[in-house]
Amino acid sequence: MASRTYPIALDLLNRTLVLDALKESAKTNDIFENWWNLIPGVFLVVSEQSAAAIGKALRQYTKEARLLVVEINTDRSDGWLPETGWKWIGRRSDERVGDRA
């Protein structure tokens, strides 16, 4: 299965969210090939797993907090980010193009 990029949006106002443990999990969990967190409450992750599998893996940290995991097409993205963010996203796009070649 090919790797895909997912944004994970978290409800930071919910007190049941265990954010520090979730951040540590993003760094060490084998389901994530890569991750990036510049915007509070939003992670970009690269994984071969489905959105449902990622959501299930994170549930122990989000508890009752709302969570959104969706697959994105990094070739079709826009926003106001520092150059390092766009480079991270650009590398994900380049990797996907290489997978299709």
Mean pLDDT of 14-38: 92
pLDDT at 76: 81
26 pLDDT band, cuts 50/70/90, is confident
Q: Structure pTM? A: 0.81
User: What structural domains and CATH numbers belong to the chain?
Assistant: 4-100 (3.30.70.100)
Among candidate residues 12, 6, 8, 22, the one with its CA nearest the CA of residue 61? 22
Phi, psi angles (nearest 5°) of residue 18: -105, 80
Report pLDDT digits (tens) over 49-78.
999 999 999 999 999 999 999 998 877 888
Q: How far apart are CA 45 and CA 62, in angstroms?
A: 16
